[in-house]
């Protein structure tokens, strides 16, 4: 609803009386004890109603393997940066900054002359 005119404070308060957030209701997993949405599979262990619906440990393992493969692919593509923990994009930014600083120093030297 679009508010076109000034309302009284009471009118505004009445409208806002429904704006409070409610805490979500959560159920406790019968298998691992973690909290999960009621009538939904437990996201920690993949159990629903006492039986395994999705093998979450296998999913986790597959995900880690996927991430590792991706990391290796990136490293092979960009070349190893040695001991720096920076991602390739960040390392490039640092190099750009270093170049800019060098250019500034050169300008200063020229001005000094």
Give the other-Cβ count within 10 Å of 101's Cβ.
10
**Residue from 32, 58, 62, 67 binding Zn ion (CB under 5 A):** 32
Minimum distance, C-beta of residue 24 to Zn ion, in the bound complex (Å): 17
95 close to 88: Cβ distance less than 8 angstroms: no
Q: Is 52 in the site for Zn ion (CB under 5 A)?
A: no
In the chain the first and final C-alpha atoms are separated, in Å, by 69
Q: Is 48 in the site for Zn ion (CB under 5 A)?
A: no
Residues that bind Zn ion (CB under 5 A): 29, 31-32, 34, 42, 44-45, 47
């Amino acid at each position: 609803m679009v508010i076109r005119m000034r309302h009284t404070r009471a009118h505004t308060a009445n409208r806002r009386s429904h704006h409070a957030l409610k805490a979500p209701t959560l159920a406790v997993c019968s298998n691992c004890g973690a909290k999960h949405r009621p009538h939904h599979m437990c996201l920690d262990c993949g159990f629903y109603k006492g039986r395994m619906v999705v093998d979450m440990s296998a999913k986790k393992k597959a995900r880690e393997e996927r991430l590792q493969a991706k990391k290796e692919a990136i490293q092979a593509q960009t070349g190893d940066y040695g001991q720096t923990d920076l991602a390739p994009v960040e390392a490039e930014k640092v190099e750009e900054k270093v170049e800019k600083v060098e250019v500034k120093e050169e300008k200063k030297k020229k001005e000094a002359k």
